[in-house]
Homo-oligomer: A and B are copies of this chain.
């Protein structure tokens, strides 16, 4: 059994703190040695990706201290306990099994006589069979016509991850002839969200997936009612247009309102649920079950790397520990995620949720306050767009903000033009390479307004192309990074008590059970 200790009780953390500002990356990246460093400071990830940390503020000394921290904090022991079914989510008394949705990493995990790996595989098969029947025209609308569009109704983890993954693979699927159906997403309780999505689809040929683990998420049930209302008004039978993704014990599970119900369970949290039926149903419908299977395989291969005790061969743990050094030793308050791929336009929003909801906490696993900072703010937009936007502050602003670049050698659609002797894809890649060096090395200028101090650390994940497998590896990489950071900070990364108070107060507002400031705000908003 691993021992759960606060970060500031570990001897290796003291060592790490003594290494503040130890590496000057501008110097480290200069000259021929700099070139060698870029080649050396790289670790293979799954699906042909590579994690390059040459522009991070680390050297052999810092890396050795990080390796000691990984050992002392027993990170791999904790990961093993997690995937073998320990109750890691202590606050909610739950296991944490999202890895099991992609592969059996350890021993069988059996709950109430059910092997959980078998359960997840069975639900994948159920989603695949349903999707295949829809694609084959065996499941149709009332008129016997094929469905052409699928709309996910969900919020938070039931929305951001699946949406980001759909956008990431939409063009790839079209270029690779596996595109089956358009997907849309309704999430916000703002009625303009649902109304606009419904106005953009052909209702008679649309399937709707209602996603709610408990079957009680107010926003989602409200939007479901909104959609049912629209279907009914259009003379359509809602139960012939809807399926549910929910837990077996939820009110939605056995309802006759749905064509089918595909099951999730309490052991995969919302923000980690893209690989469960929450993402599986819609992605199988949109792109075919085989594409979703490739995504799971990519994630599984990355998970396998995350089990490696050798820090230098474990890109997920390495990224996590460099992040700890940046947050807790260097004192940087936020991190930007900058994919040089338009297909990843919503991937930063998904990571923002995954990271900030997991590690935005100040009490440890035993509900005791911690005296060090934890999860940073995560934000980002695709490059090159961001270059013409907020990069000004990243280059010359008050705070140093570590950067996480992502780049691919090839585009997804393969359509390109050659202007001034380079393709668009080459320009895209040239920009990300240039930015890494500009941020790290800077450039002196007598006019301080044009001076770049540099010393702004970044890493880059480089891949050949954004495919289902490399997307799965990317997803698993960041999930595992967040998990390892939660272990280091001694947090429970898998609950989210911080979202409860707002829910309770919103119910009181709707029940008109308020007074004082809350009542006046409610009045101002005409509730």
Give the residues in chain B near A374, CB-CB below 8 Å. 397-398
Q: Does A394 contact B (CB under 8 A)?
A: yes
A54–B517 Cα distance when bound, in Å, is 9
Q: Which of B384, B415, B429 contacts A195 (CB 8 A)?
A: B415
- Using A342-B192, A430-B506, A510-B426 as known contacts, say yes or no to A159 and B521 having CB atoms under 8 A apart: no
- Using A333-B334, A500-B450, A525-B429 as known contacts, say yes or no to A156 and B188 having CB atoms under 8 A apart: no
Closest chain B residue to A408, Cβ basis: B525
Chain A residues 284-328 with CB under 8 Å of chain B are none
Whether the pair B191, A450 counts as a contact (CB closer than 8 A) is no
Give the residues in chain B near A416, CB-CB below 8 Å. 191, 226
Main DSSP-derived SS at the A contact region: helix
Q: Does A122 contact B (CB under 8 A)?
A: no
Give the residues in chain B near A504, CB-CB below 8 Å. 434
Whether the pair A367, B447 counts as a contact (CB closer than 8 A) is yes
Q: Does A448 contact B (CB under 8 A)?
A: yes
Whether the pair A437, B518 counts as a contact (CB closer than 8 A) is yes
Task: Report how many residues on chain A are interfacial, defined by Cβ distance under 8 Å.
Answer: 156
- Using A190-B340, A192-B413, A363-B449 as known contacts, say yes or no to A357 and B389 having CB atoms under 8 A apart: yes
Q: Does A110 contact B (CB under 8 A)?
A: no
- Using A190-B425, A334-B333, A516-B30 as known contacts, say yes or no to A437 and B505 having CB atoms under 8 A apart: yes
Whether the pair A362, B396 counts as a contact (CB closer than 8 A) is yes
Whether the pair B399, A373 counts as a contact (CB closer than 8 A) is yes
- Using A29-B517, A398-B374, A448-B369 as known contacts, say yes or no to A391 and B498 having CB atoms under 8 A apart: yes
Closest chain B residue to A521, Cβ basis: B433
Whether the pair A527, B156 counts as a contact (CB closer than 8 A) is no
Chain A residues 1-58 with CB under 8 Å of chain B are 29-32, 34-35, 37-39, 42, 50, 52, 54
26 example contacts (A-B, Cβ-Cβ < 8 A) are as follows: A31-B516, A32-B516, A35-B515, A39-B520, A156-B387, A190-B340, A190-B425, A191-B415, A191-B425, A192-B412, A192-B413, A196-B342, A222-B417, A225-B417, A353-B389, A356-B390, A375-B393, A375-B398, A391-B498, A392-B496, A392-B499, A429-B526, A435-B506, A442-B501, A449-B492, A452-B501
Q: Which of B190, B362, B426, B442 contacts A342 (CB 8 A)?
A: B190
Closest chain B residue to A413, Cβ basis: B195
A421-454 vs B: 1/0 string, CB under 8 Å? 1111111111111111110111100011111100
A144–B372 Cα distance when bound, in Å, is 68
Chain A residues 372-423 with CB under 8 Å of chain B are 373-375, 377-379, 381-385, 387-399, 401, 407, 409, 411-413, 415-417, 419-423
- Using A411-B191, A417-B225, A497-B449 as known contacts, say yes or no to A524 and B360 having CB atoms under 8 A apart: no
Q: Does A349 contact B (CB under 8 A)?
A: yes
Give the residues in chain B near A369, CB-CB below 8 Å. 448
Whether the pair A517, B427 counts as a contact (CB closer than 8 A) is no
Give the residues in chain B near A343, CB-CB below 8 Å. 192
